[in-house]
Structure 1
Amino acid sequence: MNKNPLVSIVCTSYNHGDYIAEAIDSFLMQKTNFDFEILIYDDASTDQGPRVIQEYENRYPDLIKPIYQTENQYSKGVRVEMFNHNRANGKYIAVCEGDDYWTDPYKLQKQIDYMEAHPNCSMTVHAADRVLSDKKKILSTVRPEKTNAILSMERVIEGGGDLVATNSMVYSKEKITELAPFYLNATVGDYPMVILAALHGTVDYLDDNMSAYRVGVKGSWTERELATSMKRINHYHDMEKMFDEINEYTNFQYSDALEKAKRGYQFSLLVEQRKFKEAKSGEFRQIYLELGIKQRVLMGMKRYFPNVTESIRKAKWKFVQ
């Protein structure tokens, strides 16, 4: 068994039994001139997920290294991503959740070649398709730039959690040796990780579509954590707190970008609280004016037909941009 892989693939899974095999197969298909390990963390799934993972572990015992929890740790407030991060032996860490998958067999090779040639780079990301969970119909593409580019800290902060696909991320564990409090305290993991990477080097976007992530997965984080108005309100407050922590951590170096991002969540909070007049005026006026037609229509429906809007939200994969 190789104890010194160059890359650690980290995969967190919870009730991804219908999808985890495709994720693992997309790891196994990677063609590289270096060794990698596959670290899978299952957070006490109640479906067939653990059985599927174990079948792969039995076939590739030197490559696939799972952790099987008997009690769900996420529900206890544990930062479950840390289980794989802390045991990763690789110089680089590649991320993919159990309900997503990679589409290019040379994905890892391309990203690692780039990072080895650019020592200032702390993370690479790339384009990815959003696909419908069961039919894999392509709904849209995550493509923050139309060419290879270095994403500035301001771009990363203001771009929000949807700027890059989580399963496109490969980051340097050597550069990100210490996980900042704002990351550990956050209720989301991917967005603050990109910000953290930008603090320790460059975040470089490769304009190559090499993965897909599913939308509308039953039991997903979005479904569990944003299912009700109160949960969404709490989420918006949590994000505001995260921006304040980042601001303090960075000695207010990026105050303008952080305050702009914070206003975006405050705008969403006003809409959620049905304070539409406030959302369209004052410091939030520009945010409203920059909304697309679809967002404005949905905002109007939320104001006058809240029950219809909630039904649309439950079928949100139809409205992904």
Structure 2
Amino acid sequence: MEKNNDLENLPVVSICCTTFNHASYIKDCLDGILMQETTFDFEVLIYDDASTDGTSEIIEAYQEKYPKKIFPICSKENNFSKGVRGMSFVYNIPRAKGKYLALCEGDDYWTAKDKLQRQVEFMEKNPDIVFTFHNFRRKEGDSLKNPFLYPPSFNKDVYVLKFKEAFNTQIQPLTMLFRKVISKPKELNVLNGDALLIALLLEKGKGAFLNFTGAVYRIHDGGIHAGKHKYTRISNSIASREKMLKYFDYPVKGELYLKLAHYYKRLAKLDFKRGHFFKGMNHLNWLLKYSFYYITRK
């Protein structure tokens, strides 16, 4: 019986990268991806949202050097400004050929050469695990912070998260490897794509933490969330999860209710601190409503 060469040639991992005006950072991102030492093939899918600072030219140069590895889409118009959210869901994941997906935004980068190898090997041996993630460091300007401090329970080679725990754990998408088992509802646009990704995956199975540090999350003024006031960030988190509610059933929906109650509590505290008592009372009312919805499974 002849083997299907097309199937044999498929990459095991599809790495999805979205970028916009990351000329100062995109080389670090691509070098961190291309240094991966694996026993399997991987592809690099890039979506550039009409950068104007030379990012596209850098990507094109890398693509010319690695034509069988890098597959970019360089848009002529900026779709974020038109309201499109979740760029990898829209432009990268639908064309992914890999069994597994990994994410790395154009301003972040990987630091461990065996990142993908370790994650794939673990997931091949554990079919009940839908996604894995690992530790990371933050970088602000030239300051590289220590690895993120996870709870003591994470201090083992592998830690499988409980369902509720996964919604309250810092999971950076650039550290994740997940099975290609999800798709975004077409009409759902949310700014907090991280929350949507985790919710979609937890509908399918469990997540596991692998105890190594293998990536850097960069914080800079050009980031979508960085530089925004705390009040704005919390408001964005609320707006995203309220949009998500009608697309999920329990138990995910219940965790969304709890998160919304938590965020409204934080807003209320900020309101009262500023002397905005009417707004604070209104947000406390929403806290009570979502807590009630959680308890009654409304």
- The answer to whether the superposition gives a TM-score over 0.5 is yes
| Cα separation, partners in 2 of 1:46 and 1:143, compared to 1, 3 Å | farther
Q: Is the 8 A contact 2:130 2:206 kept in 1?
A: yes
Unaligned runs of 5+ in 2: 1-5, 289-298
CA RMSD of aligned residues (A): 2.9
Determine which of 218, 221, 234 is the counterpart of 2:221: 218
Q: Is the 8 A contact 2:136 2:214 kept in 1?
A: yes
Q: Which residue of 2 aligns with 1:294?
A: none
Q: Which residue of 2 aligns with 1:43?
A: 49
Superposition pairs for residues 70-85 of structure 1, below 5 Å? 70-79=76-85, 80-81=87-88, 82-85=90-93
The 2-side partners of 1:119 and 1:90 are apart by 16
Unaligned runs of 5+ in 1: 286-321
Q: Deviations over 1:132-155 (max 9, x none)?
A: 2x3142155153522321122211
Q: TM-score, normalised by structure 1?
A: 0.76
The 1-side partners of 2:269 and 2:82 are apart by 30
Q: Is the 8 A contact 1:26 1:101 kept in 2?
A: yes
User: 1:78 Cα shift?
Assistant: 1.6
| Cα separation, partners in 2 of 1:181 and 1:142, compared to 1, 3 Å | farther
Determine which of 171, 176, 179 is the counterpart of 2:178: 171
The 1-side partners of 2:99 and 2:127 are apart by 12
SS in structure 1 of the partner of residue 168 of structure 2: helix
Q: Which residue of 1 aligns with 2:70?
A: 64
Say whether 1:156 aligns with 2:173. Answer: no
Q: Deviations over 1:270-293 (max 9, x none)?
A: 2443347759999979xxxxxxxx
User: 1:206 Cα shift?
Assistant: 0.7
Say whether 1:12 aligns with 2:18. Answer: yes
| Cα separation, partners in 2 of 1:41 and 1:69, compared to 1, 3 Å | same
Q: Is the 8 A contact 1:16 1:49 kept in 2?
A: yes
Q: Is the 8 A contact 1:142 1:164 kept in 2?
A: no
Q: TM-score, normalised by structure 2?
A: 0.81
Q: Which residue of 2 aligns with 1:268?
A: 266
Q: Which residue of 2 aligns with 1:291?
A: none
The 2-side partners of 1:281 and 1:5 are apart by 50
Q: Is the 8 A contact 1:142 1:165 kept in 2?
A: no
Q: Is the 8 A contact 2:241 2:256 kept in 1?
A: no
Q: Which residue of 2 aligns with 1:94?
A: 102
SS in structure 2 of the partner of residue 221 of structure 1: coil
The amino acid across from 1:146 in the alignment is: N
Q: Is the 8 A contact 1:44 1:68 kept in 2?
A: yes
Superposition pairs for residues 227-246 of structure 1, below 5 Å? 231-232=232-233, 234-242=235-243, 244-245=245-246
The amino acid across from 2:222 in the alignment is: G
| Cα separation, partners in 2 of 1:73 and 1:128, compared to 1, 3 Å | same
The 2-side partners of 1:233 and 1:197 are apart by 23
SS in structure 2 of the partner of residue 158 of structure 1: coil
Say whether 1:26 aligns with 2:63. Answer: no
Q: Which residue of 1 aligns with 2:191?
A: 187
Q: Which residue of 2 aligns with 1:290?
A: none
The 2-side partners of 1:56 and 1:114 are apart by 30
Q: Is the 8 A contact 1:20 1:98 kept in 2?
A: yes
SS in structure 1 of the partner of residue 24 of structure 2: coil
User: 1:3 Cα shift?
Assistant: 5.1
Query: How many pairs align?
Result: 272
Q: Is the 8 A contact 1:124 1:171 kept in 2?
A: yes
The 2-side partners of 1:168 and 1:228 are apart by 24
